[in-house]
Structure 1
Amino acid sequence: MTSAFANDVANNAASIADDVKKSNNKSLGAMLGKSLPDAFRKFDPRNMWHNPVMFIVWVGAAFLTLLGIFQLFDASLANGEPVYFTWIVAIVLWATVLFANLAEAVAEGRGKAQADALRKTRTTTPAHIVKGYDEKNDPDARGPEKGEGPAYIEEIPSSDLKLGDVVVVSAGELIPGDGDIISGIASVDESAITGESAPVIRESGGDRSSVTGGTRVLSDRIVVRITQKPGESFVDKMIALVEGANRQKTPNEIALDVLLSSLTIIFLVVVLCINPQASSVGASVSLTVLIALLVCLIPTTIGALLSAIGIAGMDRLVQHNVLATSGRAIEAAGDVTTLLLDKTGTITYGNRQASEFHALPGVDHDEMAKAAALSSLADATPEGQSIVALAKSEGFELDEVPGAVDVPFTAETRMSGLDLPNGDRIRKGATSAVEAWIDKEGGVMPVEVRDALHEKVNAISGQGGTPLVVAEQYANGEVKVLGVVQLKDVVKKGLKERFADLRKMGIRTVMVTGDNPLTAKAIAQEAGVDDFIAEAKPEDKLAYIKKEQAKGQLVAMTGDGTNDAPALAQSDVGVAMNSGTSAAKEAGNMVDLDSDPTKLIDIVAIGKQLLITRGALTTFSIANDVAKYFAIIPAMFMEKFPGLGVLNIMGLHSSLSAVLSAIIFNAIIIVLLIPLALKGVKYRAEASEKILGRNLKVYGLGGIIAPFIGIWIIDLFVRLIPGF
């Protein structure tokens, strides 16, 4: 890679990261100012009617505006109130609608820097499509060109690519669309998508075959089959997501909308009945006061912030580099009761290290350790290199043996080793594999040796380690088992505490591993998980998920391979790794761009924070309405019924000042709560009952107290207006 190209990649990644950082660090004032134009555009009634509560406020503001115009020509319509009272109330109601729109616009605006950065990658790039491709005519080796053989390469715009097309991408070129590598291996720069500057390896035939359009191949050459239609690529979905363009209301939001709409209708009926009742006792209430009272009593606070809470929750997920196909998935994450976590890479680091040499009775320790190390000299795996490192730490000096032949590890043999020039052969591998090799070579393992070997293997497995048996066949045909190398899979720090926090919230953690039951049990105990699935196959995961769901549990899991697709599709929250196959990403309802399986725990926390925030602000809003009811009603009628003055505990100046103070407070509180709606209520890993109790105290009691204080302070200024 040339220095100029390297600089271009680095600058692009730095620019994107800077854009997102600036967006997240902007002050609320700057975000409000920048979002004002979008807030005004949302005044269109075709948009407003989707939010029934705020649509009522919009209708009330429009009606009072018309009423104010008529009052300019006929003062009798003011019902004895100052004409400008109607205008002030109308302006405050328009401001209430504006603040509600502003909350949603700010939430959407936070994702625009990320969307703009992503658009930099969504350019129309050349695509080298393979015409007439089949596996027998794979053009991976630089050709053929057009006209040479049954398959040829043609350059077309990436926008013309169709589902199923095959393209060739060489070093330095942008991948023109989402797809799976069907031939080749390459180093790919995904910084434009993930923000991570370190390149990743993508190759055909495995669980890391998926590539994303807009990322760049840094080395080698790959053949990619396109798996997405134009306009439906991964980048397109991310842009739509962070901007909130395709955000649909979740079931919980719809249910809350129904509740808020029902409360609005109830209060509308109550307000309509006030004037007839007042007239029967010689009192009357103007239309301006009735509309203001209605707006104060309906749940405008949560109605104004509901959409912003949902968008902000989605934004928090995107900031963690996770793409969700819908808000439903985030809510489901908040309700999850069972987490399925892969052992390797999630609970453990995945790099097993040699920790100890165990020679069998009658075998010299040095002989066993040296044989294990010699068989690992050419072993490039982390396990093999750790065996060499352990031997060197015990003082062995190891040099390559001239004329020795390396025997690499294969999935079929499950062994590796070394054939020495003198005819001796050393093998190390799984217990069953080494025993099968001994039998094949005609060796005989005495019963006492076999028992000692199995005892040592079971002891290592019981401690959570992985045993590798070392055996040697001498030139005379004699086979001897030397001992066992203990490999230790290190559990990540801090996970035990995090799992304990999840347990407090009523979430069970289940470790999924291919290890034998003894090893799985030991690691599960060390990590602190509640259950484990040992020697797990894809169908085992699927069966476990169905069993949990049959009990009424919501299940979340991660996966990256095609064989994980059924379980991802069955789970309530399926998080596919970005490095995984297209089948896995299509089956899941979330994609982790960083391919970090531990992020599932963070996703659950984000989902719970979303639910807690919505619940807290709903509680605050309804408590507000109750308080405003008792604050306003006595003040409204105390002039006609002096006895109600006893209930005017705030000492509001008059009925007009009480109503105006209440609707001003109603508008201001929306603005004050926007930061909380965007940031979310602080999340603590506690039981649901404890969270509910604290929120009722903080947001329920606070929602009752705040209007009394706020309306009283505002009334001190409103009473100074002439005529009030």
Structure 2
Amino acid sequence: MTSQKYQLQLSGMSCAGCAKTIERALQEVNGVTSVNVNFANEVAAVEANNVTPQQLVDAVKGSGYDASVIDHSQPEADDPRERAQQIQFYKFIAAAILSTPLLYTMFGHFSWTSAVYVPDWLMNPWVQMALATPVQFVIGWQFYKGSYTALRGGAANMDVLVALGTSAAYFYSVYLAIFASEHVIHEGLYFETSAVLITLILLGKWFEARAKGRSSAAIKQLLNLQPKQALRERADGETEQVDVADLTVGDVIHIKPGQQVPADSEVISGNSAVDESMITGESVPVDKSKGSQLTGGTINKNGFLKAKVTKLGKDSALAQIIQVVEQAQNSKAPIQRLADQVSAIFVPVVLVIALITFLVWAFWYQPGDYGAALESTVAVLVIACPCALGLATPTSIMAGSGRAAQMGVLFKQSEVLEVAHTVTAMVLDKTGTITEGKPKLTDLELNLGELKQFSEAEVKAAIKALEQQSEHPLAQAIVNGIDEDAKVIDMTDFSAHEGRGVSALLHHDGTGVRILLGTQRLMQEQNVDCGNWLVRKDELEQQGKTAMLIGYDNQVIGIVAVADTVRKHAKQAITTLQQRGLKVIMITGDNQRTAEAIAKQVGITDIFAEVLPEHKAEHITKLREQGEIVAMVGDGINDAPALATAHVGIAMGTGTDVALETADIALMRTDLRSLVDALFVSEKTVRNIRQNLFWAFAYNTLGIPVAATGLLAPWLAGGAMALSSVSVVLNALRLQRLPIKHRS
């Protein structure tokens, strides 16, 4: 049974603990096979059998959070994350207005600020309570709600720490206001501590929400590429402007210069250059003519095109790219498991540390000074928030995979993003990967000598006419490579000599002469003298070309060579990979001599030649057994088993659907330098994750002891906690500016 995949937009999460609670709730739904909740972009990726989207939404709501199903084919007018971000901002503004007077009262508590005038009415405990109460229970209600949700689900999250810390400060101040003496009131009220803490945490969450929104910019940019309207041709030949959603497969559309291509389509008529940089990352426009494929969202530069719609909606190339990028961003990298394990036990441990801090201060270090004990305890509770830990990995994955997509490299899983840069052996399939995969005419040499009745142009036209009769793939390359008009040639008695070549009778001035094109064996069978042409044939074959002799009457008058040409920049890409320390290997079904000729052109010394398709995977397995971390790059159906066997399977974007489906990474360009981009992004992303995890761990490891010793005021702890989360996200966002290193 085919499983279904759903994406849910979540809201109400405050830290990685909330993500774990939602994961557990979704996993309990009967039929759900896998769940990944990404705290950074607040998305749950669910795979299930016989489960409706509403069941999943209900499960999330049952755990105390909110959810909606993501459907890119019907985009919402407003992004729920942007709405949540605006709400956080408005809450911060309201809290700041109410807490600023309370913050000002702090000048009256210290001898070194006694010169600053503080009105007596502002020091009144009931005025302070009136200012702090709406901040605590109206604006800060989200922390109590989040705490209840987490504790009901059997977990403790950031909201528990914030609610406990601020409540302790607030209710202790209420107690002092009601029962304590005036001196104690003026020296020990903590209304400003609770109010300013909530204000700073809200500011941090707003900054965090903004930064997290930027980390998912790649998806937004891809979604914005989707055109909204199209010019559709009616039955009477006139055009009408319609919504892209109203198009159907088979519709004929008109694309004017400067317009976006409305949908995946095939050119019927016209010539133009199309900017495909938003899909492939390649800045050079691609020429398009009749029969060319167009991708929805690309830009028609300078010519008029008429095209027939071939794919729409979820089947379109852009939709599939978005799906792959989201799949990578919503998956969980192995390196994140450590952070998840720590987060699961972090809050309970912090609560114990906070309790110990209070007891040590109140009964040993400064016995009876409950105010000082409370300050240190609140500081410990607040600074220990594990938000930075929960954001460290997913924000880097989102930013890294998004930047890779802009370069034309699609990582299908975050695990691959983590592993790719560790590859030690890169196995490249020859045909369609190192080479173009399409034979081209490379050499056509004639020596007509005493042959007077035909000009060189007529002989070329005859060769073209002869090969037009053949169905062999190499014949088409010769036909495409000769410009002369074959229609002027009078030819009869065509014969295809299986595995050896073709021949026909060429008529001129009432006489017929036999013309042949094929192997040395064909020439010998037909008693055609090859003369010195065999030496030239051997030279061409040493270069990896397929050479065929041209026989006229009883002598060879020329030679034609066809080759699968090496891709542009292939040598540069392979040299760069070798400079990175990779063992680069070419694998092919071609004979050893042809393989060596191609390998020599691109600088490869390790070759697996004459390998049958079904045996390619065996070579990958042998490399793995030798301790190599292997990446396999291919583009055909026969590469699929090898792609699946390698640690990292990489498919060229021009390859077959089977190869693309089997691979872990898809290259949208045929430029092999994209391999360098893939390794570069992987390396930088993993380094970025490690930086984030180090600083997140270091922050909590150093911050908690400092707070416990009383060296950190609670409001400073709140600011530091907010800053830690924002700094982790901003560090991850540096990945969005990664340069394309290999260009020169």
Shorter-chain TM-score tier: 0.5 to 0.7
Give SS of 2:216's match.
helix
Task: Give the Cα–Cα distance (whole angstroms) in 2 for the partners of residues 175 and 583 of structure 1.
Answer: 26
Equivalent residue, structure 1, for 2:136:
none
Any residues of structure 2 matched to 1:180-199 within 5 Å, and which? 194=279, 198=286
- CA shift, 1:311, in A, is 1.1
Match of 2:168 among 61, 64, 67: 67
Separation in structure 2 between the aligned mates of residue 660 and residue 483 of structure 1, nearest angstrom: 85
Distance 1:376 1:399 in 2: 6
Distance in structure 2 (CA, Å) of the matches to 1:281 and 1:515: 82
Change (3 A) 1:404 1:460: same
Equivalent of 1:671, from 726, 730, 736?
726
Residues 491 and 313 of structure 1, relative CA distance in 2, 3 Å threshold: closer
Give the distance between the partners of 2:629 and 2:357, measured in 1 at CA: 47
Aligned to 1:147: none
Moved more, 665-674 or 240-249: 240-249
Mapped to 1, the partners of 2:497 and 2:161 lie a distance apart of 73
The 3 A distance-change label for structure 1 pair 255 and 608 is same
Whether 1:293 and 2:380 are equivalent positions in the alignment is yes
Tell me if structure 1 keeps the 8 A contact 2:383–2:707.
Answer: no
1:273 aligns with 2:273: no
Contact kept, 8 Å, 2:273 with 2:286, in 1: the verdict is: yes
**Equivalent residue number for residue 391 of structure 2:** 304
TM-score, structure 2 as length reference: 0.59
Q: Measure the CA separation in 2 of the matches of 1:401 and 1:232.
A: 42
Alpha-carbon distance in 1 for matches of 2:374, 2:496: 84
Matches within 5 A, 1:688-699: none
Kindly indicate whether residue 596 of structure 2 is the aligned counterpart of residue 547 of structure 1: no
Distance in 2, matches of 1:328 and 1:38, equals: 35
The corresponding residue for 1:532 is 607
Contact 2:648 2:664 in 1 (8 A): yes
* Unmatched 5+ stretches in structure 2: 1-80, 92-141, 236-242, 469-474
1:336 aligned to which of 394, 419, 423? 423
2:335 to 246, 252, 264: 252
- Which whole-Å CA distance do the structure 2 matches of 1:38 and 1:365 have between them? 91
| Alignment partners' CA distance in 2, 1:330 and 1:407 | 60
CA distance in 1, matches of 2:672, 2:496: 27
**Cα contact 2:500–2:521 (8 A) shared by 1:** no
Specify whether residues 580 and 435 from structure 1 end up closer, same or farther in structure 2 by C-alpha distance, changes over 3 A only.
same
CA distance in 1, matches of 2:269, 2:494: 21
Q: Distance in 2 between matches of 1:331 and 1:35?
A: 31
Q: State the shift of 1:600 in Å.
A: 3.1
Shift of the alpha carbon at 1:434? 0.7
Identity of aligned residues (%): 21
* Counterparts of residues 582-597 of structure 1 (less than 5 Å): 582-594=657-669, 596=671
Question: 1:666 Cα deviation (Å)?
Answer: 4.0
Q: How many Å apart are 1:612 and its aligned residue?
A: 1.6
Structure 1 residues 253, 608: CA separation in 2 closer, same or farther (over 3 Å shift)? same
2: CA distance, partners of 1:202 / 1:49: 60
Tell me what 2:118 maps to: none
| Secondary structure in structure 1 of the residue aligned to 2:623 | helix
CA contact (8 A) 2:383 2:721 kept: yes
Establish whether residue 470 from structure 1 lines up as the match of residue 520 from structure 2. Answer: no
Q: Distance in 2 between matches of 1:411 and 1:611?
A: 58
**Structure 2: how far apart are the matches of 1:407 and 1:60?**
91
Does the C-alpha gap of structure 1 residues 315 and 610 become closer, same or farther in structure 2, counting only changes over 3 Å? Answer: same
Deviation per residue, 1:138-180 (Å, 9 max, x gap): xxxx9xxxxxxxxxxxxxx99899xxxx96455659999989x
Secondary structure class of the residue paired with 1:274: helix
Q: C-alpha displacement at 1:584, in angstroms? A: 3.6
Question: Deviation digits for residues 426-461 of structure 1, max 9, x if unmatched?
Answer: 445xxxx5134235435587xxx79x93x6555544
8 Å contact from structure 1 (residues 577, 594) kept in 2: yes
Judging by fraction of residues, say which structure has more strand: 2
User: Is 2:223 the partner of 1:105?
Assistant: no
Residue pair 1:352, 1:490 contacting (<8 A) in 2 also: no
Conservation of the 8 A alpha-carbon contact between 1:127 and 1:167: no
Aligned-pair distance for 1:107? 0.9
**Cα displacement (A) at 1:241:** 5.8
Aligned CA distance change for structure 1 residues 493 and 439 (closer, same or farther; 3 Å):
same
Paired AA for residue 313 in structure 1: G
User: Which of 298, 301, 316 is residue 403 of structure 2 equivalent to?
Assistant: 316
Whether the 8 Å CA contact 1:349–1:489 is kept in 2: the answer is yes
Shift of 1:502: 2.8
Equivalent of 2:520 in 435, 438, 447: 435
CA distance in 2, matches of 1:408, 1:252: 66
Cα distance in 2, alignment partners of residues 612 and 406 from structure 1: 69
Q: Residue 74 of structure 1 aligns to a residue in which SS?
A: helix
Q: Which residue of 1 aligns with 2:135?
A: none
State the SS of the aligned residue for 1:340. strand
Whole-Å separation in 1 of the counterparts to 2:700 and 2:685: 23
Which string of whole-angstrom CA distances, capped at 9 and with x for unpartnered residues, describes residues 641-695 of structure 1?
A: xxxxxxxxxxxxxx354x6445433433443454431122998999xxxxxxxxx
Relative distance call for 1:222 and 1:660 in structure 2 (3 A) is: closer
Q: 1:335 to 1:294 in 2, by over 3 A?
A: farther
Sort the Cα spacing of 1:301 and 1:175 in 2 relative to 1 into closer, same or farther, 3 A: closer
Amino acid at match of 2:723: I
What letter matches 1:678 in structure 2? L
Q: CA deviation at 1:509?
A: 2.3
3-state secondary structure, aligned to 2:427: strand
CA distance in 2, matches of 1:467, 1:679: 50
User: In 2 relative to 1, CA 317–223 (structure 1 residues): closer, same or farther, beyond 3 Å?
Assistant: closer
Q: State which of 688, 697, 700 in structure 2 corresponds to 1:613.
A: 688
> 1:417, 1:427 within 8 Å by CA — same for their partners in 2?
yes
In the TM superposition, what is the alpha-carbon distance from 1:201 to its structure 2 partner? Answer: 7.2
Q: Alignment RMSD, CA only? A: 5.8
Query: What's the counterpart of residue 652 of structure 1?
Result: none
> 1:561/1:443 Cα in 2 relative to 1: closer, same or farther (>3 Å)?
same
Contact kept in structure 1, 2:325 and 2:410, CA below 8 Å? no
Note if contact 2:275-2:286 (Cα within 8 Å) is conserved in structure 1: yes
Structure 2 CA distance for partners of 1:500 and 1:199, relative to 1, 3 Å: closer
| 2:586 and 2:608 in contact (8 A); partners too | yes
Instruction: Name the SS for the 2:330 alignment partner.
Output: coil
Q: CA deviation at 1:254?
A: 3.2
3-state SS of paired residue (1:251): coil
The equivalent position to 1:520 in structure 2, one of 572, 592, 595, is 595
Confirm or deny: 8 A CA contact 1:333 1:603 kept in the other structure: yes
1:331 Cα deviation (Å)? 3.0
Contact 1:177–1:214, Cα closer than 8 Å, also in 2: yes
Query: What corresponds to 2:128 in structure 1?
Result: none
What residue identity is the alignment partner of 2:379?
A
Taking structure 1 as the reference length, the TM-score comes to 0.60
Q: Which residue identity does 2:459 align to in structure 1? A: L
Report the secondary structure of 1:249's partner residue. Answer: coil
CA distance in 2, matches of 1:171, 1:682: 36
Cα offsets for 1:243-266 (capped at 9, x unmatched): 789723233323432245456665
Do the aligned partners of 1:57 and 1:97 also contact (CA within 8 Å) in 2? no
1:19-418 matched pairs, under 5 angstroms: 36-37=85-86, 56-75=157-176, 81-83=188-190, 84-118=192-226, 120=227, 168-170=250-252, 172=254, 194=279, 198=286, 234-239=317-322, 247-261=330-344, 269-278=352-361, 281-283=364-366, 286-296=373-383, 300-343=387-430, 346-347=433-434, 354=442, 374-375=459-460, 379=464, 384=478, 403=489, 405=491, 415=501
Q: Distance in 2 between matches of 1:603 and 1:251?
A: 19
Superposed counterparts of 1:572-591, under 5 Å: 572-591=647-666
Change (3 A) 1:521 1:549: same
More divergent stretch after superposition (317-326 vs 78-87): 78-87
**CA–CA separation in structure 2 for the residues paired with 1:71 and 1:411:** 100
Does structure 1 retain, via aligned residues, the 8 Å contact 2:634–2:650? yes
Moved more, 185-194 or 97-106: 185-194
